[in-house]
Amino acid sequence: MKKKIHIILITATLILLSSTHTSHAAWTGIELDFEGTLSRDPYVTGETGTTTAWGLTGRYMLQETWKDSLFELHILAGLLGNTSSSDLILFSYSSPFRVMDLEAVHSRGNRTILFSEVDRLSVTFEGPSVRVILGRQAITWGEAFFFNIEDIFGAFPATETNRLHKQGIDAVTLNIPTGQFSELTAVGIPADDNPGSLALRYSFPAGKGNVSLVGGESARDALIGGGFAGDFSGAKIYFHSLWTDPDTERSFTQFVLGAERWVDSVTHIMAEVYRNGWGTTDSNDYPALLLSERFLGGRILTLGRWNAAGQISRLLSPLLTGHAALFYNINDGSTLVRVDGGYSLSDNADLRSGFFLGLGDRKQGSVVKSEYGSVPLGLFWEMIVNF
């Protein structure tokens, strides 16, 4: 615990030093988030009754450049709580892609937890033929939005597609341009308590679009896949497939087919269909899948075998944008609805808010009967200020 607190204090000192450095920060920002749910998390078994869970978090963001280098720092701190005093809130950092000890729980009661973490701590070196990124960083691969299977280092699950920031992972990234529109990317994650990872992605133009190839080993999974994204008659069409051969499980294949298009100058639509070879067509298998290391570690996106999602976005005024999204488990018929909007407060401040709501068969006791039916009503509010 002392080691964790010391790391947080050292990071705070770096912020103070950066504010007095002769080279001023290129960009800084603050984000405030509030989230609340009106019943228990459906993905925790053995619970009865209802409760209200909530979380209030703040994120400080800093980017500073000097010569051909970029320093990035994000510090996240928050308070989590619920209205039930019967048990402690479960709070852990289970990412298999983190090795640095940059998280701390400062206070834990039977209703609240106060925590902090360093979510970004990286340095980027830009050379004439290679870009190197060292440290805790966000890595995003793939073109899909709802079911981004090519994003093998932790894609957003359906209930977090409103978030602005991915969880940072501890890695070394090499980006090597191989042509005007082609690039080879290598990501290595050192081994610690979790197995190490090494993966490659190569993207290059082909016809009316771009081809991507991925392969490597991630958290004891051997992976190989590829995809294509291109523009056809004003619509972006994309397809990705990924074959996974785990160390201790059966191999499986995933694929996603999607499209997006601007209908007019203020309306944008997108839709995806996703087959999850690891998932099931029988909801009786859900309890076992929910407790699996793969699902708890965020290395798979759904429980169901066949899934679909769609979203419509519209500019309601020059300052206000609205979004309505729907996630559908084709096998069990459950649905997750997300409605949110964003309002521009000024040139450097934005406000976003919305809700999630699950529809479908609810739990019977502690047994989940559908993927989204037991997802509670969730409210979120975010404010972002840039300096």
Rg of the chain over all Cα atoms, to the nearest angstrom: 21
Check residue 110 and give its pLDDT. 79
306, burial (CB in 10 Å: exposed 0-12, middle 13-18, buried 19+): middle
Check residue 47 and give its pLDDT. 44
Beta strands in 127-208 (DSSP E): 131-137, 169-177, 183-189, 197-206
Check residue 136 and give its pLDDT. 95
CATH C-level class of 2-386: mainly beta
pLDDT band of 122, cuts 50, 70, 90: very high
User: Alpha-carbon torsion 171, 4, 59, 41, what sign?
Assistant: positive
Check residue 153 and give its pLDDT. 87
Check residue 191 and give its pLDDT. 78
Residues 46-92 have pLDDT tens digits of 344 556 888 999 999 999 988 889 999 999 999 988 876 544 444 44
Nearest one of 174, 153, 155, 152 to 163, comparing CA atoms:
155
Q: Could you give the percent of the chain with pLDDT greater than 90? A: 60
Average pLDDT over residues 217-237: 94
Residue 311 near residue 340 (C-beta atoms within 8 A)? no
Check residue 44 and give its pLDDT. 40
Check residue 230 and give its pLDDT. 96
pLDDT at 369 over 90: no
Q: What ranges do the domains of the chain cover?
A: 2-386
CA atoms within 13 A on the CB side of 280: 14
pLDDT at 305 over 50: yes
Check residue 26 and give its pLDDT. 74
pLDDT at 45 over 70: no
Question: Which amino acid is residue 297, in one-letter code?
Answer: G
Q: Could you give the percent of the chain with pLDDT greater than 70? A: 86
- Tracing tokens 């920002």 back to the chain, one arrives at 29
State the average pLDDT for the chain.
86
Residues 163-198 have pLDDT tens digits of 888 889 999 999 999 998 999 999 999 877 767 899
pLDDT at 223 over 70: yes
Distances (CA, A) of 309 to 161, 257, 275, 297, 377: 12, 11, 12, 22, 19
Rounded Cα gap, residues 272 and 265, in angstroms: 22
pLDDT at 2 over 50: no
pLDDT at 292 over 50: yes
160 DSSP assignment: G
